[in-house]
Structure 1
Amino acid sequence: MNDENEHKKITAEDEKAPGLAANYLLMGAGSMFTSMLIAGFIVGYFLDQIFDTTPIFFLSCAVLGFIGGIQQVHKLSKRLDYMAPKAEKETEDDKKSG
């Protein structure tokens, strides 16, 4: 009898959780942030080599890459917010029809 209640709790929690696509979206957010930061470091390094300055462009492009990475992660996390209410709506529709 306890096993049935635990099973019901697990399925109720699973219905509220975003689907498998959300996991891929979050993995993409991490790789997007990392790539933006590394790109900022690389561009800054080459600009320092071209203009013969030491850390100015390296640090400023790293900060810009960090800010750009944060913006991209925020943009992707907004998509996750839109995915969750849709899943909740589908479960409510299923309960009404069932």
Structure 2
Amino acid sequence: QVNALLKVGQPVKAAKLLQAQLDLGENSRDIYKLMAQAKGDMGQTSQSHVWLAEFYYSSGLLRAAADQLHLAAESAGRNEYELAKIASRLREVENAISEMEDKS
């Protein structure tokens, strides 16, 4: 249903359905990727990058996740609240990268 909504140009409805799935605890890479697409289609570039970062993180691609968070921060402009959330998540991802490097 979400794919159909995105195909017919209904990203807001698609995002609401995806958010409902997330609220129910259904976290999956597919949801993150679709949410990134929906947010991008809505013109919310920063949020699109944030969701794509979650997709990469859940796929084990931590550096790609960090890259997306950097892009999200660049796209956030002067929205201090959004920048703070992005910075916090970026620190978590960078810590995970450091831990992974320490183990190898």
TM-score normalized by the length of structure 2: 0.31
TM-score normalized by the length of structure 1: 0.32
**Highest RCO, 1 vs 2 (Cα 8 Å, sep ≥ 6):** 1
If you compute each CA radius of gyration, which structure gives the higher value, 1 or 2?
1
